[in-house]
Amino acid sequence: MSLVAFATLALSLFGSSQAAFDNTCNDNLVQYWGQNSYGAANPSNTASYQKTLSFYCGDSTTNAFPIAFLNVFFGTGGEPEIDLANICSSSSDPVFPGTQLANCQFLASDIQTCQAAGKIVTISLGGATGGGTFSSDAQAQSFADQIWNLFLGGTSSTRPFGAAVLDGVDLDIESGSQSYVPFVNQLRSHFTGASKKYYITAAPQCVYPDAAIGATLNVASFDAIYVQFYNNPCGLTHYSDGSYTWNFGVWDYWARHISPNPNVKVYIGAPASSSAAGSGYVPIATLQTIAQQTQKNFPSFGGVMFWDASQSYANGRYDVATKSALTSAGACGGAYTYQACTAPAFSATASYPVGSTVSYGGYQWYARYYASGPPVGSDDSNAWRALFACGGTSTGSTTTKATTTSAAPTSTKATTTSKAVTTTPASGGSCSGVAAWSSAATYTAGLDATYNGQLWQANQWNYNEVPGGASGAWNLVGTCASKRSVEAGSARRGVKFARD
């Protein structure tokens, strides 16, 4: 069945249901709207350019729409600026006097139509090239007051969307290292006692911790994060390529153990078509599998986020097929059934070769490379990668290497009987067939390279990190002299010469 035919069938089955947004569900679909991403990538196909917001609210597929973007924080006249591409902007629409803030009040009815259909509509701040910095906590708090008055429950004579009251704020901050904690906390102070529910979300890169917003995520309370698993080395295309750089487990650990809000939801952020991002797009069947397995494997999972609505509609309603996969096993109310821990419990006295699995701290883990220390859930460069959250007593033996996995993190695993043994790196290594280290290459944990007559193995993802350098990203295997002893079941993986 084609994607279009599937979408038509799915719409006929659930297209008329208009339940209110529920942040406790794990089958939500979020689509950014405002940037005409499809039109920007396909300028000759004007028929598929972004439509007004209400066009995308006619069925129950999408649960939330962040409007993208408020791209200038402090513009002319002290007011911010918004740019909604072909729909509304200061370059093509009226602005409020003395400012460059576009008057988009004709969108009020669109927003209200979507809200009446059970959707939430938020304003997204930043974007790939937008945003701003605060000179002080007081300025951050004042800006939060301004956002409240312009877009949310406050009052102002320069409200871009008129009488429409948005449902919250999204932070898509992709540069700088500004703390947004005072801003978020000030917004929360307005939300307290308000007549409606408001939400605060963020869209970090999947590389953990996020360089721009990571510190804020650890201190301020967010309702959901839309993690961008595209244009990154931890993106969707690496889910089952054997590199184990796909890292949703790190974000689940963050949600459950570090976030001030233990009920925060984590979404898979994905490009909705091949032209929506530089990398990270996967066919619909692949995304359906990833979404369903992640929904099963991690309790913080909230659903899927797309960049963007124009792309998903032009791509044969990619959104409908995704939503169908999510709702087939979706649940609300925070209920989650933990899988049994099937791997042996981690032992501090054992060492583990590549491919070993252990149970530790409520997760089942996979050794991406030789490991002796315990799994560290908040360390993305750690030897261990979380496969899934689990509960109960481990059913595996503590004296055996638990499993050897196939490439896909959640695929069925074949049990082995080899022991987890303590080993030390060989004094030398065979460098035959191993490429020389290159400053232009990216390396994931477990990759080998030669440098200055020695064999090195990466212990974390790295780029332009010299073997033996201060970063500590490489382990010395030995000189290029004797044949290297390779642990059974381990394999050398190829170098990638381009950033994703």
DSSP state of 234: T
Q: Show the tokens assigned to 350.
A: 């054992």
> Pick the catalytic residue: 79, 174, 465, 487?
174
- Lookup: tokens for 345: 């419990």
State the amino acid at position 215 in one-letter form: A
Q: Which residues pair with 255 in a beta bridge?
A: none
Which of these, 72, 286, 39, 238, lies nearest to 160 by C-alpha position? 72
Helix (H) or strand (E) run with residue 163 in it: none
The CA distances from residue 163 to 56, 154, 227, in Å, are 21, 10, 31
Integer Cα distance of 95 and 232 in angstroms: 37
- CB of 87 within 8 A of CB of 34? yes
- Helical axes 181-191 vs 137-151, angle rounded to 10°: 40
Number of C-beta neighbours around residue 153 at 10 A: 14
Q: Which residues contact 356 (CB under 8 A, 6 or more apart)?
A: 366, 367, 371, 401, 402, 403, 420
The C-alpha atoms of residue 390 and residue 151 are separated, in whole angstroms, by: 42
What is the rounded distance in angstroms from the CA atom of residue 446 to the CA atom of residue 457? 6
First to last CA, the chain: 31
Active site residue 174: yes
Q: Which residue has the tokens 């990668």?
A: 385
- Cα–Cα nearest to 227, from 271, 278, 268, 257: 268
How do 88-89 and 120-127 pair as beta strands? unpaired
Pairing of the two strands 224-228 and 265-271: parallel
Residue numbers annotated as active site: 174
